A = this chain, B = another copy of it.
Amino acid sequence: MMESVEKQTKRPHVVIVGAGFGGLACAQALGKSEIDVTVIDRRNHNLFQPLLYQVATAALSPADISEPIRRTLGRYPNIKVVMGEVTTVDQSRRTVGLKDGVSIPYDRLVLATGSDYNYFGHEDWQKHAPGLKSIHEARQIRHSLLLAFEKAERSEDEAEKRRLLTSVIIGGGPTGVEMAGAISELGRFMIARDFRSLRPDQLQVLLIEAGPRILASFPESLSQYAVDYLTRIGVDIRLNTPVEDVTPDGVAVGGALIPASCMVWGAGVKASPAAAWLGVPPGPGGRLQVASDLSVEGKSEIYALGDTALSTGEDGKPLPALAQVAKQQGTFLGKALKVNLLRGEPVPTFRFHNRGNTAVIGRNAAVFDFGSWQLKGRLAWLLWAIVHVYLLVNFEKRLLVSIQWIWRYATRQRGARIIDENAVAVDRPAADGQISN
């Protein structure tokens, strides 16, 4: 919306909450300008979430897909990074309040706080079936997966062995599909190569979707391709199957419990509590309704972008919660705020340029939807790999990760198959070093 030129002696100050794709892009666009920028994040690193499932399945290390925020923004003298947790926003005094009591003043506030999985009121399910949003959760999943194989190798009890070798992925979106494919391929390969008393056919991977099809955000034909491919690599897909309960021992559907050891939640997305901070009613999925210039409805100094914002595309439909949307919005808003704050020009209307929606299904299978045309199979996988390696923010990582991929693609090896000692010997982590140095 329109802004009048602000006469102020001090440099204008933009506060960005969240250093994900959107927040970082916004900060970088404001870099090396006459505007002071403060980036607040609970983490010290920016996480390349599209590849987080590879950490959960031991293909990559956390550091391969993480970048210290300070390193990314270190080259911009006008940007300050604060590691902290936002708990309040005082709109009258124009300050952001942190958990530890510190409050930071702003002239413009950009909310790029991302989203979390939606347990639809069953938050207690999260500890048994973590989502895939953080390194911590990816490690949890990796541990439960690898540890289950070790236990199964030693178990004499057939039923228990079956439970240990069963993984249940809840939600047939891109993350669920990626996890199901990766676990099935990793599991069968590991068993065949490294475990003496297990058989690949004992591995069970279930993909449970409440709706009528998986990859619902993609065209029907691509969903069908995913179903065919996953079924071929041994994933058991259950459609129209709402989850009734998640326990330490498994997942309940259709009144029966499916005994499982590794459970992953990939269903539904819920925006961060940003709406609560502003005291405005959240839109669908808890997202903040924003105007065409990404300002929060009725707030002239507060903007929201990425998964936090509910903005509509030219077709009038809400934009999807994708990294490319957040990134484009961040860059757009950063540039616009620079002009707006320094020259008083209004923030124009944001236009999303669709770069294509993609999901990887297996070792050389992926799908791409460019709207007007689609791509699937090995070629789509190659394109997916190229795009994602390219997107990795940091040159070193881009180089290393691509080498790891090429190597692993050839050898099918997994480099990060570590079970942390604290996960193994929870009772006495201090003694970890004792056996085997």
| B396 adjacent to A400 (CB under 8 Å) | no
Say yes or no for A127: interface residue by CB 8 A criterion: yes
Chain A stretch 3-58: residues in CB contact (< 8 A) with chain B: 17-21, 23, 41-47, 49
Q: Kindly report how many copies of this chain are found in the complex they form together.
A: 2
In the complex, A371 has a CB within 8 A of chain B:
no
Q: Is A261 an interface residue (CB 8 A)?
A: no
Please measure, in the bound complex, the distance between the C-alpha atom of A63 and the C-alpha atom of B196, giving whole angstroms: 24
Chain A interface residue number, banded: 35 or more
A133 CB within 8 Å of chain B: yes
Question: Which chain A residues in 181-234 approach chain B with CB under 8 Å?
Answer: 190, 193-196
A397 to B413, CA, bound (A): 11
Closest partner residue, chain B, to A436 (CB atom): B18
Q: Kindly state whether residue A117 has any CB partner on chain B within 8 Å.
A: yes
Please give, as numbers and ranges, the residues of chain B lying within 8 Å of A133 by CB-CB distance.
432-433, 437
Asked if A429 and B136 make an inter-chain contact with CB atoms under 8 angstroms apart, the answer reads yes
Of all chain B residues, the one with the shortest Cβ separation from A397 is B415
In the complex, which residues 378-437 of chain A have their Cβ closer than 8 Å to any Cβ of chain B? 396-397, 399-400, 403-404, 407-408, 411, 413-422, 424-425, 429-437
**Binary B-proximity of A295-338 (CB < 8 A = 1, otherwise 0):** 00000000000110000000000000000000000000000000
The answer, yes or no, to whether A351 is at the interface (CB within 8 Å) is no
Q: Give the distance in Å from the alpha carbon of A146 to the alpha carbon of B63 in the complex.
A: 14
Question: Which 8 residue pairs across A and B have the least CB separation, nearest first?
Answer: A133-B433, A114-B437, A70-B194, A18-B436, A134-B432, A61-B61, A63-B416, A42-B435
